[in-house]
Amino acid sequence: MTHPQHFMTGSVHASRRLAGRTAVRALGRREHERGLRRLLMVAALIAGLLLLTGPKLMAQASAIDGQELEEIVLSTEALDLELRHGKRKTSGKAVESRISVPVRRALNEWADVASALGLSVVVPKDADALILGTATTKELGHLSEVVDETWEFVADLTPLDDAEPAPATILFVFDEDGMEGESWAGVIDELVRRNELVASAAEPLKRSPGPLMLRGLPGFLQPTFDMAGDASAGDDEFRLDNEVAHKLAQCILKSRFGEVPETIRWGIGFLVEQRQFQSIYQMNATGFVAAKDHFDWPAKTRDKIVEMSKKKDWSVSRHVGAKSAAGRAETPQMITWAALDYLYKNDADALRGMLAELASLHDEAAGWRTSQQHYLGDEERTAKLLVDRMDGIDAKKLAKHLRRLK
């Protein structure tokens, strides 16, 4: 939207130049001066109208183009909302001045839903995130700390030219009782109403609750308990902290940059998991995952790189392009994770630039299909970009980096 002052100044100056040239050529200096006087009267009239309507127009411009984000205030329902800021029990009104613009906006959007469904509300201390759910106060407080720690790990993972903060990530966290109650169904219905979930998927999800990624929101539905395994019998397939940190990282990546190739998207999640917990638990797999696949990724990946880099066809980009390995404890995905971690540690600007370029390729190919949840960038241009950005990573330096990584 054009700012009123810019519209007035630009239009008047342009009209003056046009009128001046015409008058000098056709009517002479006297007629030229009359034309200027008429234009000045029109300009004065426009200025007067803008003085009357300017504040309203400027407020509308702020709401549309996001230039005055700091002016966003909490709604009445959000102000009255009882919540926890970190572990402290408080209210929306008490924390309004201490929370970020994205979190204020998220509270405004979800306050009525939280009140209607009886959901607990937690605002992490630092992260641009909002936790809504039915878990215990202790569980929600702990997850708030996990979220803040993840936020710190990805603090530098932002576009180089980022002008506006990304939206807050919404975490819907449910314990077993909550999933069996009306709150779960209520959240599902609300997601359908907001076009974040298709109606055909809603009813099955109500009957058979489970986790669900909503990167476009951005956000996710997350049970606090292992819905499929039995930890007491030695089943070690579920760790809540890992799941929350990994999914949050994927949501942040999507909201800050856009859609990127699957191995990179999962690789960023693994980067966060490994740095926070020295283990990998959130994988793109169903059924049994070998216990060895959860641990020792730095050592295992280093050994693979040392072995494979001796061959003539060694290429980091070739592994990044292995779509079938995305999200799995397989060599191409592990090497992709290692390369991303190396770049984030040693050349964060190069990583940020690559993510932005990849997301741009997706946007160009996706066009109006903004809800697409899979990378659609042109294959040839994507491959070339990955070669340019990742094949320059020295195998020996990458192996040395992994030797130092816990």
Domain boundary assignment for the chain: 4-69, 72-256, 291-404
Q: What is the pTM of this model?
A: 0.82
Contact assessment for residue 302 and residue 399, using Cβ atoms and an 8 Å cutoff: yes
Instruction: Give pLDDT, residue 61.
Output: 36
Q: How far is Cα 95 from Cα 70, in angstroms, rounded to an integer? A: 15
3-state secondary structure of 88: strand
CA distance 185 to 173: 13
316/359 Cα distance (integer angstroms)? 20
Q: Is 241 helix (H, G, I), strand (E, B) or coil?
A: helix
Mean pLDDT of residues grouped by 10 in the chain (406 residues)?
Answer: 31 33 35 44 41 37 43 94 94 96 98 97 98 95 97 94 88 95 96 95 94 94 86 73 98 96 98 97 83 95 96 94 96 98 96 96 81 85 97 96 93
Contact status, residue 196 vs residue 217, Cβ threshold 8 Å: yes
Residue from 119, 96, 98, 97 nearest 108 by CA: 96
CB atoms under 10 Å from CB of 275, counted, come to 19
Helix 262-277 vs helix 297-308: crossing angle, to nearest 10: 130
- Which residue from 250, 330, 336 is spatially nearest to 290, judged by alpha carbons? 330
